Structure formats: C-alpha cells, structure tokens
Amino acid sequence: MSLTDLQAHVLAYYTTGHGKELSITQRWYPHAELIMIIDDKIAVAVRKFGRKAAKESRAAATHFVDTMIEKGVWSTQKNDFGGTMHQFQLGAYPAALAEFNAANPVVQAAAAGSETYWADKFAELTA
C-alpha cells in the first residue's frame, strides 16, 4: 500500500512520538480490530494538526499494522472459523519500530529539520 505525502507524515509523526510507547494487551485480535486500535491512537496523536491530518489516520494505521505484522510484531494464527488472528509481541516491537523509522525518509527529514518541522510541514500539507 502506497501512502500519500500527508499519510506518510501522519504515520511518521506517530512512530517517532506516541508510537514508541505502544503496548497492547496480549490477546488475539482480528486484523480489522488492530487497525481500529492503531487508527484511534494515530488520530489522537495528530489531532493538534487539524482534521485533515486526523482523517488520514486510517490509511496510516493500515500501513503500519500490515508492516508490523510482516516484521513479526504481531504473531499470526488461523482460527477454527477460517479467519486470521494476531497477538502483539512486545519484545519484537522496539527493534521493528527502530528499523521502520531508520528506513523512513519522512522520519529522516524530520530529524534533520528544525524544531518546528512537524508544525510547518502539517500546515503546508493541510492548507
């Protein structure tokens, strides 16, 4: 899944801030529920940048969950009813998040930018 520039910034803002503290109860979740949980967390994180940014949280959450599943942050199990369930693996998360952020050009631009990078960029992207 390819993200728009605004969605990529929404996700990068989350993963470099609130996303570092992610902890989810270790029970099995369906994919759609994981996306809902992360969507809410991202929307809360970016709400200070306005509605346009917060509206992009769903796409950012879907990309994030799918990427983290691929990296083993959520283990995957088929259930008896033909569905797939996922369980958060706290031990795998810090390294996967660090790898994700290290490879993310938006995160790199933010790290090299000024302390007003996020506010300036979101103002530009949501104008």
**What domain range includes position 15?**
5-121
Residue 30 lies in a domain: yes
Residue 82 clears pLDDT 80, i.e. is over it: no
Q: What is the dihedral of CA 68, 70, 74, 75, to 10 degrees?
A: -170
Residue 126 lies in a domain: no
Total tally of structural domains belonging to the chain: 1
Average pLDDT over residues 90-109: 96
Cut 0.85: pTM above it = yes
Q: Which two tokens stand for residue 48?
A: 């200070």
Task: Work out the pLDDT band at 26, boundaries 50, 70, 90.
Answer: confident
Q: What percent of the chain has pLDDT over 70?
A: 99
45 with 18: CB under 8 angstroms? Answer: yes
Residue 127 lies in a domain: no
Residue 29 lies in a domain: yes
